Amino acid sequence: MHAYSHLIPESLVGSIHQLNRAYLHTARDLLRSGQDRVVEALFGLDGTLAQWLVDATPEAIERLATTPGTVFQPRLPEATDKLLAVCTQAPERDITALHLLLRNLGEAAQIDQGESQ
């Protein structure tokens, strides 16, 4: 039992751990299959965690997955309001493609700004 279990319902803790496991194992499987760029774009892993996952045992991943809180953060584009507006409307386009496009455009703009400084 974790020290924070008296503050957070055990069912919520279990759900967070399940999400962490899915996130970490999926990222690890993609990394091991050579899809580093996909993992970088979709999961936002830094190089340290990515390298660790490639070599991590299931037991090590389980220990990380059951630490307090989520091991991942939402990765929304800077234009979050546009993405959320599209999500509240009836789907006319593939929202996933729009999300990736907005993220990539935002990252490209940051790179361009960095080069011009």
Write the pLDDT tens digit of every residue in 70-91. Answer: 998 887 777 888 878 877 876 6
Q: Is residue 5 part of a domain?
A: no
Taking the whole predicted model, whether its pTM rises above 0.85 is answered as no
Cα-only R_g, the chain: 17
pLDDT of 1 strictly over 50: no
Print the domain residue range for 26.
10-65
Q: Is residue 75 part of a domain?
A: no
Same domain? For 23 and 61 the reply is yes
pLDDT at position 107 is 59
Q: How many structural domains are present in the chain?
A: 2
Q: Is residue 74 part of a domain?
A: no
pLDDT of 69 strictly over 50: yes
pLDDT at position 97 is 72
High-pLDDT (> 90) share of the chain, %: 39
Cα dihedral across residues 50, 55, 58, 59: positive or negative: negative
